[in-house]
Amino acid sequence: MANCSQCKAQIDAEAAYCSKCGAQITTSQADAAWIAGMQEEIKQVTTGENTGGSIFFLSLVLIALSIIFSDILENLSQIFLVIGVIGAIVGLVVVIICGTKKSQLTDQLKRGQKNSR
């Protein structure tokens, strides 16, 4: 987030005045706050995307374990397979959704469109 030029308090991207000291926020301060907010949102979406990728990878490991131990642990192997397939689907969906959102936010940031959230 950006800071007020008078009191250095954090300011909201949409603020016209500082909530702490009442100073009028200039356009450049508001723009800086908006950019910082967008960057934080992109960072959060990227974390979600990474989490989805981790879920997908772990699910593939479960599927591989179910295949490797299919003769030894039949029931457990079937459970691993089902959980692995479900996890892979969930992980892939999370990656796709977060990737799409990240792309949209990045494009919005590049265009400088504040009000199209």
Out of 1-5, 51-55, 56-60, 78-82, which region has the weakest mean confidence (pLDDT)? 1-5
Domain contains 62:
yes
Residue 8 has pLDDT above 60, yes or no: yes
Residue range of the domain that includes 59:
2-111
Domain contains 116:
no
Residue 10 has pLDDT above 60, yes or no: yes
Q: Which residue has the higher pLDDT, 29 or 67?
A: 67
Number of domains in the chain: 1
Domain contains 85:
yes
Answer for the pair 59, 88: CB distance below 8 angstroms, yes or no.
yes
Residue 15 has pLDDT above 50, yes or no: yes
Domain contains 7:
yes
Domain contains 50:
yes
Q: Where are any strands of DSSP class E within the chain?
A: 2-3, 10-11
Domain contains 117:
no
Q: Six-digit token pair at 12?
A: 């909201």
Domain contains 49:
yes
Q: Which of 107, 112, 116 is nearest to 27 (CA)?
A: 112
In whole angstroms, give the CA distance from residue 101 to residue 67.
35
Domain contains 87:
yes
Q: What is the pLDDT of residue 117?
A: 45
